[in-house]
């Protein structure tokens, strides 16, 4: 059975004081056995997370990684550096980076390769824009995004990664995809993975991201092909993040 993962993507939010309060609030709550918690923070806060979360059940990670191992790449962060600060995960190919920084599918795959080489788990983000959805191109866009990842990372690399379906029109808009839309795409992604390997399809975790909050978490987390969430805005409030995690725990118990 696939475990659930609830990963908070803080994006460019946080401060040393606010981060510490967030961690303390998390640590005051009972441990959720059946759900893994992760927090993906801006790179300057990784050392603080390592210090505060070390030894706890919530792991941490980065929001991006360089597609290069080392060298003259001003402003970039190498996978080995994330590793050195105890990261377990890194987001790769978030739509905000694809859009604002022009990251291509091939570059996204190269970033994932760097992460994998350092034993980090890349959270590979995929998703269509509203325009693409309305033009009936969701499957075409996703087939391309996933196809490049499958080609470059291969079954072995994909088996050590997590997928995150994040429709662009649902990110930060307060308008989540409906449970039916989410399940349809997740099942389709799993089916595409099955064409490479049934074992991969069975085991790969597919997260949903896009306006996940405590009020819609229960219905989203109980969908058969949803293995957790990548949570942006709602993850900034520790109690919201915890409520989403509890919804995921409840959903896993139901399917056990």
238 C-beta neighbours (distance < 10 Å), count: 20
- Catalytic one among 94, 103, 186, 240? 94
212 binds ligand PGA (CB under 6 A): yes
CB of 50 to ligand PGA, least distance (A): 22
For ligand PGA, the closer of residues 116 and 234 by Cβ is 234
Query: Out of 53, 82, 115, 230, which residue is the one contacting ligand PGA (CB under 6 A)?
Result: 230
- Does residue number 171 form part of the binding site for ligand PGA (CB under 6 A)? yes
Q: Which of 206, 209, 241, 246 binds ligand PGA (CB under 6 A)?
A: 209
Q: How many residues bind ligand PGA (CB under 6 A)?
A: 13
Options 36, 96, 103, 166, the catalytic residue: 166
Residue 172 binds to ligand PGA (criterion: CB under 6 A):
yes
233 binds ligand PGA (CB under 6 A): yes
**Which one, 193 or 207, has the nearer CB to ligand PGA?**
207
Q: Catalytic: 94?
A: yes
Residues 235 and 206: beta-carbon distance below 8 Å = no
166 is catalytic: yes
**Residues taking part in catalysis:** 94, 166
Q: Site residues (CB under 6 A) for ligand PGA?
A: 9, 166, 171-172, 209-212, 230-234
């Amino acid at each position: 059975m696939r475990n659930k993962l609830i990963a908070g993507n803080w994006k460019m939010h946080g401060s040393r004081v606010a981060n510490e309060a967030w961690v303390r609030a998390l640590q005051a709550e009972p441990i959720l056995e059946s759900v893994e918690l992760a927090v993906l923070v801006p790179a300057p806060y990784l050392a603080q997370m390592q210090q505060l979360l070390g030894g706890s059940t919530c792991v941490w990670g980065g929001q991006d990684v360089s597609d290069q191992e080392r060298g003259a790449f001003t402003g970039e962060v190498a996978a080995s550096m994330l590793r050195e600060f105890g990261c377990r995960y890194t987001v790769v190919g978030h739509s905000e980076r694809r859009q604002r920084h022009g990251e291509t599918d091939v570059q996204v795959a190269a970033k994932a390769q760097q992460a994998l080489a350092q034993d980090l788990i890349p959270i590979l983000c995929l998703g269509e824009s509203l325009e693409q959805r309305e033009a009936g191109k969701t499957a075409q866009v996703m087939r391309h995004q996933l196809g490049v990842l499958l080609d470059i990372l291969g079954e072995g690399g994909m088996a050590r990664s997590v997928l995150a379906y994040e429709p662009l029109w649902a990110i930060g808009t307060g308008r989540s995809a409906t449970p039916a839309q989410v399940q349809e795409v997740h099942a389709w992604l799993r089916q595409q993975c099955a064409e490479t390997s049934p074992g991969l399809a069975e085991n790969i975790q597919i997260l949903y991201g896009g306006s996940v909050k405590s009020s819609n978490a229960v219905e989203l987390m109980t969908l058969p092909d949803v293995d957790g969430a990548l949570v942006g805005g709602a993850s900034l409030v520790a109690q919201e993040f915890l409520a989403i995690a509890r919804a995921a725990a409840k959903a896993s118990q139901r399917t056990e």
